[in-house]
Amino acid sequence: MSWNQNRITDMLKAKYPIFQAPMAGGATTVDLISRTSMYGGVGNIGAGYMSPMDMETMIHDIRQKTNHPFGINLFIPGNDIAFTKEEEERAIESLEVFRNELQIDAPLQLPRKDHRLFYEQQLEVVMKSFVPICSFTFGIPEEAVIKELQKEGTRVIGTATSVEEAVLWEERGCDLLVVQGKEAGGHRGTFIGDALDSLIPLVDLIPAVTDEISIPVIAAGGIMDASDAEVAFRLGAEGVQLGTAFLATEESGIHPAYKKMLVSSNKKTSLTEAFSGKWARGIHNRFMEQMKNQTSLPYPLQNDLTQAIRLVAAKQNQTDFMSLWAGESYQKATLQSVKVLMDNLVAGLDQQLDDE
């Protein structure tokens, strides 16, 4: 059987089991998603921070451009987080140096948001929009939610960073599972234990997970080209998910200065929780360096707290204070169109896997 004829392509009615990662924060534009799906891959909306109204608009706009399958990703909210006023004040104080340097007049403060309600409103949009695929990160939704989505024809994809998480996802009834190796850019999807305890290389995680579960696995983390994807397929993955490679495409919605860093910087990546309160991998910058030993609030509170810094930094083209999420192998990124990226992936995989 060809690499692009398997359980995933059969289930999703996609030509290729190549997924554009659902990166939150504005990276996943209508053009990025629709062109990936029209090519035969699976484009995904990174809806983690999107308002329900913006989600509805994007789903509509994608459907105006393609009738091919696409997905949407939601963040599972954590339990209510207890923190003291002193902890909040220390977290704000540690960010004052950046507020002053960026000349932000308004004091930093923590908005009072109901993250659970926000998620439930997002979920309502997915349900009533009949999106073909819905993936989840940072946890597992209730079994009733999964069953309701599946009843309406939506395929459910989980995210796991360990065998333990993978087994739980299968038990809960998901259709497919993304396994995220330590090389991945952006946030760790870990929801059991400490994220730093599940930094498993993708080449070890794929076989460990496929030995324990029977549903198809999509490999993610540091996959930049056909050679990387080939390794994942040979280890037992039936699909691959690329994030950083798609961030560098002409169609992605990231800040131009961030995109330039992806294709020209040689800086290392490192993990930080200073931007959001969750461990995430990005190109090392001054914010990450100066915040190494500072107090951060748990996710999503720290994310709310640093929002003003990130927004103003973007307006000022100050990459030292922006979250430059990138995988370990980001230096292989090339500024190119979705079509060229997909052309190279498909041609390379055809040559490496189908000529044997």
Ordered structural domains, the chain, with CATH: 7-354 (3.20.20.70)
Evaluate whether 61 touches 30 at the Cβ level (below 8 Å).
yes
Q: Specify the pLDDT at position 266.
A: 95
Q: Specify the pLDDT at position 354.
A: 75
Residue 355 pLDDT > 70: no
Q: Specify the pLDDT at position 356.
A: 54
Q: Rounded to 5 degrees, what angle do the CA atoms 260, 231, 343 make?
A: 50
Confidence of residue 1 (pLDDT cuts 50, 70, 90): low
Confidence of residue 352 (pLDDT cuts 50, 70, 90): very high
The per-residue pLDDT for range 271-311, each reduced to its tens digit, is 999 999 999 999 999 999 999 999 899 999 999 999 999 99
Residue 239 pLDDT > 90: yes
Q: Specify the pLDDT at position 82.
A: 75
Collapsed DSSP state (helix, strand, coil) of residue 197: helix
Residue 151 pLDDT > 90: yes
Q: Specify the pLDDT at position 84.
A: 85
Confidence of residue 192 (pLDDT cuts 50, 70, 90): very high
The per-residue pLDDT for range 54-111, each reduced to its tens digit, is 999 999 999 999 999 999 999 999 876 778 889 999 999 999 999 999 999 999 988 8
Global model pTM greater than 0.75: yes
Q: Specify the pLDDT at position 79.
A: 77
